[in-house]
Amino acid sequence: MNESSEDSVAGEKAALRHRLIAARAAMDATERATAAEDLAGWMSVDVPFRLEADVTVCCYASVGTEPGTAQMLDALVDRGVTVLLPITPDGPPTALEWARYTGRHGLRTGRFSLSEPTGRRLSNAALDTADVALIPALAVDRRGVRLGRGAGYYDRSLVATGAELVAVVYDDEVLDDIPADEYDIAVSWALTPGDGFTRLG
């Protein structure tokens, strides 16, 4: 991809991010609460992955207008799986670190005002133990192209994992096409409040 093409993709992504962030901000509290409850419900209905005591799931603690994951995290713990949440290291964007989720009481506010677990930090190599990774996104398309916030932490982290990658988005954020860069890591699934798990690609 040449420099002008990269600039074009970057511009398209920036415009799409702006639109999606504005749409999320326009949602009311009731819509968000219902979406969070519905996402948690999919942890026990038509799950396409095995979620048992020997399974490790990477997820994240939602903040702001992101699809709410608090109930979903608790539903995963109730199933007996090991849940890892990301920690954003200091310095320039790099691969994430991880720690085990032990409940909402075990979270603190970390870098970028993100909620992070307080337990022992693990390197990004912890992803090698993960069977499923439920990751944040602003949108995903039907090919599996994920649109994040733009810093590239997840693309750097997921490049070598064998986990099933699932983008967690609202129902109207599964799009037909998202501009992609060569370094974007594709996901295999979308998880939405209304439709649950949808295979992509």
Residues of the chain with pLDDT under 70: 1-6
16-23's contacts with Cβ under 8 Å and 24+ in sequence apart are 16/138, 16/139, 16/147, 16/178, 16/179, 17/138, 17/147, 17/149, 17/150, 20/138, 20/139, 20/147, 20/173, 21/65, 21/138, 23/172
Q: What local confidence, expressed as pLDDT, does residue 6 receive? A: 62
Q: What local confidence, expressed as pLDDT, does residue 150 receive? A: 85
Q: What is the pLDDT of residues 67-104, one digit of tens each?
A: 999 999 999 999 999 999 999 999 999 999 999 999 99
Q: What local confidence, expressed as pLDDT, does residue 77 receive? A: 95
Q: What local confidence, expressed as pLDDT, does residue 184 receive? A: 87
Q: Global pTM?
A: 0.93
Q: What local confidence, expressed as pLDDT, does residue 181 receive? A: 85
Tokens 């649109």 belong to 147
Q: What local confidence, expressed as pLDDT, does residue 142 receive? A: 96
Q: Token pair of 84, please? A: 């890892």
